[in-house]
Structure formats: C-alpha cells, structure tokens
A = this chain, B = another copy of it.
Amino acid sequence: MWQALLNNLGKDNHKSLARAISLVENEQDGWLPFLSQLPAGSARLVGITGPPGAGKSTLVDALIGEWVADGKKVGVLCVDPSSPFNLGAVLGDRIRMNQWYNHPNVYIRSLASRGSLGGLNQMIIEITAVMQAAGFDYILVETIGIGQSEVEIAGLADTTVLVLVPEAGDEIQTMKAGVMEIADIFVVNKSDRPDADRFVNNLRLMMAPAFSQQERTIPVIKTIADKKEGIQELKDAIRKDAAHEELNNDRKVWLLTNRVMQIIQRLRMKDVQPAVISEKIREELATGQFNLFRIASQF
C-alpha cells in the first residue's frame, strides 16, 4: 500500500496524495518508514498569516490564479482553529477558493488544528513533507484566526507573508517586538482604505535595516486582493525571497532544525497517554497532596 502511494504521489489527480495525507495524519502503521523514504521535493513553502479579517483567503485565491497562469502546480493547506475542549473541528468553508478545487494543478486541503496546544495541526510537518514529495512548485499554508501562533508558522515556512490591514496602525507598536520579525514579506491588504499610504510608509520606515535589525529591507506590498491588485508584486516578492534564501544557508538550517525537533518531540511523547495522567491526577487530588512535578516525574 505505502509503496503504491509513494509511486503515485505526484500522479493520479491527487488521489494518492490525499490518501497518503490521511494515513499519515492518523499515524497508520508504516507511516514513519514511508516518510523516511520520501524524496525531498523542491516546492517553496509559503506561510500566509495575520489577524482575522485581513483577507488572507482572498489573497491566497488570487495567488493561486497567478501561479496557475504561469503553469505552476500549487498545494494549499488551510489550518482551521479547532476547539481544545471537544477535540472536534469545525472546518471553515472557503467559498472564495471554490473555483480551484477541481483544477488539475491545484490541491487544497483543510486541516483542523486538532486540539494541539499550539495553533498549527500537530502533523503539519509530516503533511507538508508528503506534499513536497508530490511535485508542487508552491505549497501555501494559510492559518486563520488569532488562536494560532504566527511564530509557529515562521518555524515551518520558507517564506512567511504577514497580511495586515491599514487599521492595524495602532497595534504596530505592540506587535513589533515579536510578530513583526517573523515576516519575510508584509502585505497591506485593502490598501484602498483611508490612511493606507501613511500606514504603508510607516511600516516601510520601521522595516528598513536601520531600525529593524534585519540585514535587508523587508518588502511591504500593497494589495487589494478582491480586485486582484498587487498580486503580481507579491508573487515577485515571494520569488525574490527564495533567491535571497539561497544565499542564506543558516536560516534554512534553522528552519529544518525546528522541524526535526518537533518530529523528535512527537516520537518521544507517543507512549504518554493523557488518560493515564488524568487518572493519576484524580488520585492525587483525592489525597490532597497534589503536585504537578511529582506526577510528571513518574513518566
């Protein structure tokens, strides 16, 4: 089964790909040897993140259009927030992307974050590795909602695009310390809104090397995604970012180290059953001698 999937990953209209992702996601027997055999692939992994309402889905839709017109193959992962309490997921319907669901060069998959404590799907590294092997030119990972860690996506993506809207002006001062630094590219979407130019100019000033401690100027792209304006510029910026990274092997190694760390972590935690821990917690709570670290030491 796994061998057949491996052979057909980039073929059969994404059927084997879809199946392989599902099997890996469920850690079906043989998933780890399967992953260890995957060819590396050369897809560029692009993360699209930002606050809700910034227009990320519309932007992704427009980007797919640009790339498909260039004859590129595009994979899209949409990570939806799910509840940590019921471990179920309400997968968002992305109406704007509907036109791409049956296109032979486009594969779109929604993933729930499945109650992981961070914001991304726990198996996202594995899933993107499977997609890498399927021969895409670009893999877009879109995260929706403020319940997800933009910092986490930066650890996964080759290029991280942070989408903002002009109203975000007041918040930049707060964001700068952490979130702003994850962006390889800024997009100011809905840039026909009032004050957009002032916002863009301030952002550009802030992101110039003198202020931002970055070695280069982080591009700030103005878009109006629902009118397809600025998309070509964004596409160019993504291509240039890839070229820049060729020169910057350290960053690539850092990204890959992060991914390997997460895989090791998952493998080492496989035997830890939350239900067993909960049982011990109930016991200790009943005795009144409760201590988190004493319980943890038993595993």
Contacts and interface: CB of A to CB of B under 8 A. Distances in A.
| A contact face: mostly helix, strand, loop, or mixed | helix
A30 interface: no
Interface string A127-153: 001000000000000001111111110
A292 B89 CA distance: 28
Contacts of A52: 171, 174-175
Given A80-B178, A154-B84, A268 B269 contact: yes
Interface in A163-186: 167, 170-171, 174-179, 181-182
Report copies per complex: 2
Given A84-B182, A117-B152, A146-B150, A177 B92 contact: yes
A38 interface: yes
Contacts of A129: 292-293
Nearest to A275: B257
Contacts of A281: 253, 256-257, 260
B125 A292 contact: yes
A293 B35 contact: yes
Of the candidates A36, A118, A268, A296, the one having the most CB atoms from chain B within 10 angstroms of its own CB is A296
